[in-house]
Structure formats: structure tokens, C-alpha cells
Amino acid sequence: MQMQQQQEHAFEFTGSGWEYFKIWIVNLLLSILTLGIYSAWAKVRRLQYFYRNTRLADASFDYHGMPKAILKGRIIAFVMLMVYSGAMKLSPALGITIALMIAVVMPWLIVRSLRFKLYNSSYRGLRFSFAGSDGGAYTVFLLFPILTALTLYLLMPFTHQRIKQYQHCNSQFGDTFFNFDAPVKSFYGVYLKVLGMGLGLGFLAGLFSAVGLTFLLLLLPVVFLFVMAYMAVSLPNLIWNSTTLGEHTIQSKLEVGPYLWISFTNLLGIVLTLGLYIPFATVRMLRYKLEHMSLMAQGDLNEFVAGQEQAISATGEETAEMFDVDISL
Amino acid sequence: MVNARFFDGKTAAAQAVELFLDGSNLLLRNTDLELRWPLHEVNISERLGNTPRLLTFAGGGHCEVTDHAALGDLLAQLGTRHSWLDGMHHSLAWALLAAGLIVLSLLAAYRYLLPWGAEVIAMRLPASVLQKMGSSTLDTLDKFMLQPSKLDAARQREITAAFARLQAPSAAQLRYHIVFRSSPEMGANAFALPDGTIVMLDELVALTQDDNEIVAVLAHERGHVEQRHAMRMVLQSSAVGLVLAWYVGDVSGLLATAPAIIMQAKYSRDMEREADEYAERTMRANGLSPCLLASILDKLEASHLAKTDAKQPAPDAASKREVMDYLSSHPATQEREKLLCPAK
């Protein structure tokens, strides 16, 4: 057997802001005119645009979700949201009861959502899939978050690590499993650095507050954005750099400076154009993230083989999306 | 001929192939492969920006095509045309038209759909919901803004009795009662809660010379309740807040609430007008002149302006007044007085 050569394949994003703008605005119009029904079709187009523009080793990804399955999920999510907000208005006690019920079904929904999302994603004609169990989901999405709250968030990095481990170790491309080996202490490392930075910069701000309150009010948002950007960059880096697919490894090299610049100018653009800049902002951010990721292939990418396919309802995914439990991937 | 990359759906291996049209079949070929599908078993994905187009074959396998021009020629031979949706997604004219139509439909929804929806729901809410909202609002106000009334019990009874004698122009839907409070910060004012409770402030009572002026204010407030104005406001602003929060997304919760309140002001003007009309009908039905409401409105405005002027240096007050009038929830008082009391 010969030593296999390691080869770096960078992710590429070939989409453009203008092109996406045209798709986005027509999607928005049709969604409004159909009172939201078209949004399921819009979502498929949007994801297909993003997936097909994502290229790796000279082939693109694809999305196969069925609009009708997504619409079904959206209707269920909408009804749940209405019931919740209606109950909250009538009596907080009833609202909290409904919220608790939603919390209890949420892990179940997340599993369906992950299955739907991965099953409907493909690369080179092979589907991804998710094999996580409901029991595992209840542990990481319900039990650990409760423990986290009870320990005043001391367990948050631990819970985050377990969630990613559950998610990535149960994901497959074809019949090849992903693996995730970031130790818990590396998550504590990032969280502690964020906490330290927040405290340190807060202390500095306190010193500067002697200069004047206006100065402090200008400084605080900058400090806040910087810490947020640090977190938004370090966690994906840690997570992806600890993820492997078979014998291939993944690399993510996001940096705080460019990330901060892109998010700040995006925010500015969106506010100044009353939202018309949104598609351009989305494309810019996606391009930055993807083009700083690569797959370190150990040998031939052609050797992946298809796994078993299974039909999955979209309900799980859509309900989870509307309640925004979609954890950053 | 179209260059493509073929994936068989079983492995991740890519093979460079050439696609040809062969009668009613699609032929796929390279040096060691030759496959053929009837065209109706080939699903050709629509254009989507400049993304590769996919030809998916029944029974597994697909081709990725990045040479759009060549594939376009091949499809033209077949007489395939772009769908109208496809055309919309790729034209700048449609993008601009869509932007215009979005703004128009949002304005239309805001101006017509929202008030209509809020009214339909508000009119159908059970009394228990109104009751709950009314009592919790009064509790909050009592805690933060209102103080107990300093009017003596006899005077309170007098006003309550005058209100009780007032006949409604149509059968009342709710039970009304007056509560007396005082609030130096709010000044002369009275307001209605969704359940029919009318809060009367000492400062307003002090401003009146004729008890029928108080009756006129009560009739106006009753108009607000009969038409569920408070409830409609709550429903409308929560709907607007929900949409804005969704649209603004994670930018900031603060950004979402401020415009909601400012935009709602326009509706309040319509509602004030409706309440004025109700009061006018009530006054006439009881043999009282609607001019009484006009005169108390005049006094209220004078008292509030005096209060603002006292806080502001004189030149600033005038400009503040203009701004306040534009944003204010009450339509220009003069305009209202003219409607109520044209003779004056």
C-alpha cells in the first residue's frame, strides 16, 4: 500500500449579490402576495442557489427539499406560534405551560429537522444523512440546557460541546460518518477568553468613562461587536477544525478583523437601504465563511459510496426554524 | 454537444462526458461509457443565476452542466422555453417592479388589512379578555403614574350620576364605570380602558366650569370603548411589532419598537374622530350641544400647551408644537372643534 498524498481542496462560492438580489426580491414579492404560502418554494430556490454555488473539488452541492413538505412544516410552526402568543396574551400561566410543552417537543423536532436538512443535501450525487437518536437529542437539547441554567451557565461550554458532538458524530456523507473530537476544555477555553475580554474591555471602558459619558456610549457598542465577532469566529473554527469525515479533515480559518468589517458594513448597508442590501450582505458573509474553509483530503474523494436513503417529513425542520432553535452550524 | 460531468449516484466519482441529442433520446458518452435516456425520463433543472444546471436521470445518476450557452442551444432544439417564474428570477426589470410592488402591497396591508383585521378580532373578543386587560392596565397605571383622587365623595357621586343619566345613542355593549384619580404629570386628562372603565383625572375636573363639559368628555371616552379602540390599538401595534421584529431580525429590538409606535399614531387620529362622532351623537340624543366637547377640548389644549411652554424656553415651544402635532395621536384640535361645533 502506498502512502496517500494529502491534498487541500478549498471551498469556493460562485454566487453574486446582484444575481441573488433578483431571486430574493421576486421570492419576497410572491411570498407576500400569496400570504406566505410561496415562502416554502422561495426557500427551496434560495437554498438551491446557495448550495449549487458552493463548489468543492470542482463539483457543487445541491438541495432537494420538497416545497410541499416545507409548507406543511411551516403551517404547523405557524399554528404553534399563534397558540403560544395567544395563550401568553390571555394569561402568562397558560403561556408558560404552552412554552414548556413546546420545549418538551423541541428535541424531537430538532432531530427531524436535522434529518430533513441533511437528507436533502447532496454533493457529487451522494446524499448526506443524520442518524442521531431521539434519546440523544433529549439529553443534549433538553437535559443539558436545564442543568446549564441550574448551574448559572457554568455548564454552557460543556453543553455546547455535547450538542456539536451529537450533531456531527451522527452525520454521514454517503455511508461515511463525520467525527468530532474537540475536548470539552477547548470549549471552556473559548468561552473563558470571551468572558475575560468582556470583563477586561468593560474595565477599560470604566476607566475611560472618566473622560466622558458620550465617549463611553460610543466605545461600548464597539467593544460589544468585537467580543461578538471573536466568538462568531473562534467557535466555528474550533468546531470545524475538530470535525473529520472518514480520514479527511476540515479546516476553518476565519479571522476577527475581516469578520467584524463584513458584519459592520453589512449592518450599515441594511439599515441605510431599508433592507434592500440584505441579499448582498448574505452573499458577502457566506462567501467569506466558505472561502475560509477547506477540506484536507487524504487520498481520493471519488471513493465515497452512497448510504441508505430514507424519506423524511419536513415538519421537523420548519417548526424548528420558526422557533429559531437552529444552532449555528 | 454539451460538456458535462456525470455522477452515477452510487459513488462520488466524477466522469467527464459529452451530451448529445439523438432523436427523442439524450445520449451520454465518453471513451468508456455510453448511456441513453428517453427525454421524458430526464429532469432538467431550471436556471438559477449562474449556478450549474442539473440533468437528473430516472433510475439514478445526474449530470452537472456549467456550459450554459451550449445547454441553452440544446434545449432550444427541443423547443423548451423558460417558465415565467424563471424569467422573473433573472430580469432586472422584474426585480425593480417587484421592489415597487412589495412597497405598495405593504402599504396597502398596513392601511387597510391591518385595521380591518384588528377590528374584526377586537369586536369578537369575549368580555372576560377585555376585563383582564382593563384591570391589569389600571393596576400598572396606579403603580407608576396615578395617585388617589382628592375630589370629595359627594362630587364624585355627582359626576357618576350625571354620566348614568346620559343615554347612549345605541344599546351599550359593556358596563361602564368611572374611577377618579389624580396625576400632576399627565395634567388634565381622561381615558378609557378596554373593559369600560373610564379614568377621570382631578386636573380635568378642575378645568371645567360646566358639568356637561365633563359629560361630553365621558361620552367621547365611551365612544372609544364602544368601538374597541384600545383593543384595536393593542392588536395593531403587536402585529406591526411582530412583523418588524421578524424583518429587522437580529439587528435590534429597539429599532423595531420605535417605528411601530410612531406609525400607530395615524390610526389614533381616525379613532379620535370616530370617538368625537360618537360623542356628538350621544350629546344630541340627550339634548346637549356638541359645542360643549369643543369647548373642553379647547381648554385641554390650552392647559397642555401652558404646561409644555412652562418647561421650554419660549422660541423653542412653537417649533415643538409643530412637531408634536405631526406625531401626536390627537388630530389638530381646531380641526376637531370645527367638526363638532361649526357655528363657533
Q: What is the DSSP string of B153-184?
A: HHHHHHHHHHHHHPPPSS--SS--EEEEEE-T
Q: Is residue B249 one of the residues assigned to a domain? A: yes
Backbone torsion region of residue A311, taken as left when φ is above 0, otherwise alpha when ψ lies between -120 and 50, otherwise beta: beta
Do both B136 and B55 map to the same domain?
A: no
CA separation for the pair B274, B300 (Å, rounded): 19
* Residue A67, H or E segment: helix A67-90
Q: What pLDDT score does B331 carry?
A: 55
Do both B326 and B210 map to the same domain?
A: yes
Q: Is residue A327 one of the residues assigned to a domain? A: no
Q: Are B259 and B248 in contact (CB under 8 A)?
A: no
Closest approach of chain B CAs to the CA of A107, in angstroms? Answer: 23
Cell of B210: 360646566
Q: How many domains does chain A have?
A: 1
Q: How many domains does chain B have?
A: 2
In which domain, by residue range, is B79 found? 2-83
Q: Is residue A91 one of the residues assigned to a domain? A: yes
Q: Is residue A215 one of the residues assigned to a domain? A: yes
Where is the domain boundary, B50, B83, B116?
B83
CATH code for the domain in which residue B53 is found: 2.30.29.30
Do both B75 and B168 map to the same domain?
A: no
Neighbour order of strands in the sheet with B2-7: B33-38, B25-30, B15-22, B2-7, B62-65, B53-57, B42-44
List B residues 18-57 in contact with A (Cβ-Cβ < 8 A): 45, 48-52, 54
- pTM score of the predicted model: 0.74
Contacts of A271 in chain B (CB under 8 A): 251
Do both B61 and B153 map to the same domain?
A: no
Do both B193 and B324 map to the same domain?
A: yes
Measured between CA atoms, the residue of chain A closest to residue B93 is: A22
Helices (H), A120-212: 134-138, 144-150, 156-169, 184-208
Q: Is residue B199 one of the residues assigned to a domain? A: yes
Cell of A44: 427551496
Helices (H), B166-252: 202-207, 211-226, 229-248
Do both B190 and B79 map to the same domain?
A: no
Residue burial A87-96, b: 16+ Cβ < 10 Å; e: rest = bebeeeeebe
Do both B22 and B131 map to the same domain?
A: no
Q: What pLDDT score does B312 carry?
A: 54
Tell me which residue in A45, A53, A306 faces B9 most closely, judged by beta carbons: A306
Do both B142 and B11 map to the same domain?
A: no
Residue-wise pLDDT tens for chain B (344 aa)? 889 999 988 888 888 999 988 888 888 888 888 888 888 888 888 888 888 898 988 878 889 998 888 888 888 887 777 777 777 878 888 889 999 998 898 888 888 888 898 888 888 888 888 888 788 888 888 887 788 988 888 888 988 888 888 887 777 667 788 999 998 877 788 888 888 888 898 888 888 888 888 888 888 888 888 888 878 887 887 777 777 666 655 444 444 444 444 444 444 677 888 888 888 898 888 888 888 888 888 888 888 777 766 655 544 444 444 444 444 545 567 778 888 887 76
Cell of A180: 468530532
Question: Which of A22, A64, A305 has the most B C-beta neighbours within 10 Å, making it the best mutation to test the interface with B?
Answer: A22
Q: Is residue A154 one of the residues assigned to a domain? A: yes
Q: Is residue A329 one of the residues assigned to a domain? A: no
Where is the domain boundary, B26, B57, B83?
B83
Contacts of B62 in chain A (CB under 8 A): 125
In which domain, by residue range, is A308 found? 9-322
CA separation for the pair A223, A231 (Å, rounded): 13
Q: Is A52 on the interface with B (CB under 8 A)?
A: yes
Q: What pLDDT score does A242 carry?
A: 95
Q: Using the 8-state DSSP alphabet, how is residue B329 labeled?
A: S
Q: Is residue B99 one of the residues assigned to a domain? A: no
Do both B72 and B149 map to the same domain?
A: no
Q: Is B15 on the interface with A (CB under 8 A)?
A: no
Do both B48 and B152 map to the same domain?
A: no
Q: Is residue B90 one of the residues assigned to a domain? A: no
Q: Is residue A44 one of the residues assigned to a domain? A: yes
Q: Which one has a higher pLDDT value, A81 or B254? A: A81
Q: Is residue B94 one of the residues assigned to a domain? A: no
Q: Using the 8-state DSSP alphabet, how is residue B41 labeled?
A: G
Q: What pLDDT score does B320 carry?
A: 43
Q: Is residue B279 one of the residues assigned to a domain? A: yes
DSSP per-residue letters across B98-155: HHHHHHHHHHHIIIIIHHHHHHHHHHHS-HHHHHHHHHHHHHHHHHHT-EE--S-HHH
Q: Is residue A250 one of the residues assigned to a domain? A: yes
CA separation for the pair B308, B318 (Å, rounded): 10
Helices (H), A242-314: 256-272, 278-291
CA separation for the pair A270, B251 (Å, rounded): 9
Do both B268 and B216 map to the same domain?
A: yes
Query: Residue A235 above 90 pLDDT?
Result: yes
Q: Which tens digits make up the pLDDT trace of A147-202? A: 999 998 899 999 999 999 999 999 999 889 999 999 999 999 999 999 998 888 77
Do both B29 and B169 map to the same domain?
A: no
Q: Is residue A206 one of the residues assigned to a domain? A: yes
Q: Is residue B10 one of the residues assigned to a domain? A: yes
Q: Is residue B213 one of the residues assigned to a domain? A: yes
